[in-house]
Amino acid sequence: EEYSNAQGTRWNKNIITYRYLLYTRDLPRSTVDFLLETAFRVWARASSLTFVRMHSHNADIMVEFVTSDHGDLYPFDGPRGTLAHAFGPGLGVGGDTHFDDDERWTTGKTGFNLHVVAAHEFGHALGLKHSRNPESLMYPTYKSSRGASLLASEDVANINTLY
């Protein structure tokens, strides 16, 4: 995992679209919608970005729950290990976010908290890189103890440096 404070590419717009393609069976769809929507809102509150949900056609950030080899160059690895990944801003696969459906996705402290993981992934989808600071949402290792205020001050600074 490369560490970098110099954030990478960015979207050249402030209104970013997203679309849910495939869901997990671990949670009701309405719960998944809520957890992902509030993960977008974490970034919207900290920046000038607006997120608009699409129900058809191509959106900037296409979101799906998949397992193992799923058509990109980064197959998932079964339970535990890598939980999810997201591509940085750009056309086509750019921004797309994949969750490993061999994980147990939850709303709380057991399994893996979908809201927390999604907020990290959407940080990548917006162009943020990993941080060495364990308090940062962009730290590369999952922490079930991450509190309600997901973003560290450096996360807010970085998203506002980028947009």
Helix runs in the chain, H state only: 29-46, 114-125, 153-162
CB of 2 to ligand NFH, least distance (A): 11
146 forms part of the interface with ligand NFH (CB under 6 A): no
Given 72, 81, 132, 160, the residue binding ligand NFH (CB under 6 A): 81
What is d(CA 96, CA 85) in angstroms, rounded to the nearest whole number?
A: 9
Is 96 a binder of ligand NFH (CB under 6 A)?
A: no
Name residue 51's beta-bridge partners. 16
Q: Starting at the edge strand that comes first in sequence, how are the strands of the sheet with 84-86 ordered?
A: 50-53, 15-22, 61-66, 97-100, 84-86
Q: Is 84 in the site for ligand NFH (CB under 6 A)?
A: yes
Specify whether 64 is catalytic. no
Active-site pick, 1, 37, 64, 121? 121
- Residue 145 interacts with ligand NFH (CB under 6 A): yes or no: no
In sequence order, what are the residues at sequence separation of 6 or more whose Cβ sits closer than 8 angstroms to the Cβ of residue 157? none
Query: Which of 52, 77 has the CB closer to ligand NFH?
Result: 77
49 binds ligand NFH (CB under 6 A): no
Question: Contact between 124 and ligand NFH (CB under 6 A)?
Answer: yes
Q: Is position 117 an interface residue for ligand NFH (rule: CB under 6 A)? A: yes
AA identity, residue 92 = G
* Residues whose CB falls within 8 Å of the CB of residue 56, separated by 6 or more in sequence, listed in order: 19
Task: Give the active site residues.
Answer: 121
Rule CB under 6 A: which residues touch ligand NFH? Answer: 80-86, 117, 120-121, 124, 140-142
